[in-house]
Structure 1
Amino acid sequence: MKNRPLFDLPFNDMLPSSINQDVSIVQITEPLQKQISLYESELNKISIWEQLDSIEEPFLSTLAWQLSLDHEYIWQLAESLTAKRNLIKIAIDLHRYKGSVWAVRNIIRALGFGEVDIIEGLGIRYRDGSFERTGIKTHSGHKKGWPFYTIIFYEPITNDIAELLRKAIPEYAPSRSVLYRINFKNAKMRRNGSYYHNGLYNRGEA
């Protein structure tokens, strides 16, 4: 199906046919349609990519919708304007490389969670010193653990962020792979009053 401009797509057309002609529904959606058309009109007046670093809400969410980037969890993880802009900047490549380690790594980077290591597989195949005994891989895990992967963070993330990441990342990871754990044992928590022992953070895994 050919893409249609947002302002040319009646809001009612996105609703189930069983309700989109209901008078009360039409009264609600007509103002929404006008607002959407206004956003589209304003967006068309500017060079989006050249001015992306100065665009704010609600235009960023409109752009995310147009770029099919408003995934329930991904956009929820983008808490700052910077994170939202960074996601939009890589949106086209994310769709192009969806299902790859590149996509996973760059989503995390764009969201502001720093650099990560992605360890694929759970098993140590050889006792030749090529693997360190870190607990991430084991000698008993190589037969059935090949599709699993672990993401190691070096920046602290809260428990609720870790839970959202567990839901969001598989959407962009290789379809054959299964997220086994998010590890943030190596995350450095500075003792400067920025972090508290209040249950928001932990020093283990999710």
Structure 2
Amino acid sequence: MLSLVFLAKVCYIILMVFSLFCLYIKYYFNKDFAKYFFLSSLSFLIGLALINLRYTISDFYSIVIANTILVSGQIYLYIAVLKLLGYKAYWKNQYFIPIGVIFIGYILFTYVYFNLPMRIFIFSVFFMISDGLIALIFWKIRNKKEIANKISSLMFFIGFVIFLITAINSFIVDLNVNYLSNNYFFMFLPYLYLVLFFLWMMYLLYCYSKKA
């Protein structure tokens, strides 16, 4: 069985490599979408690092700020995908709505009325919806990268399923404040998915960069 510590380290390394790869795509191929992929991976890297400092730093940074940053990273990823596929996309003020919901929700269910399942649920629902939407976008797009688009759609659909399971399990599994250290499923699956996901995204970005 893979060690979570080892898998987490691999995930951080992949994210750092992906971030550098995005900068390479941005400046070597002059692709604007790479900037948003870079912001996305950087957000995931910072967010996951803060989460793994849960028992070292304050809850505000390791819970509230960390998950808010992860949500921002997912929004950057959504923008990046749209730009990758040729759509006109940029940061919009309405993107602050889900960020605000997560931020306020995590403050509410951490400090006002402690409720760990609700924190996991609202986070999972956001990622489930966004992954499902991106999967649909990749599935419907028609261009010369048909096979790569379908595989990308499958990757995001897998993310949709993972967060659907996580959302359901948040109210079924008996959780406690130490769930990060004693619940293998909740930590293993997302890390493994992120490793495979960003490896695939590096290949996809390179394919689209070579298109022109």
**TM-score normalised by length of structure 2:** 0.27
Larger of the two Rg values belongs to structure: 1
Indicate the structure whose relative CO is greater, using CA pairs within 8 Å and at least 6 residues apart.
2
**TM-score normalised by length of structure 1:** 0.28
Q: Which structure shows the bigger proportion of residues in helix conformation?
A: 2
Q: Which structure shows the bigger proportion of residues in strand conformation?
A: 1
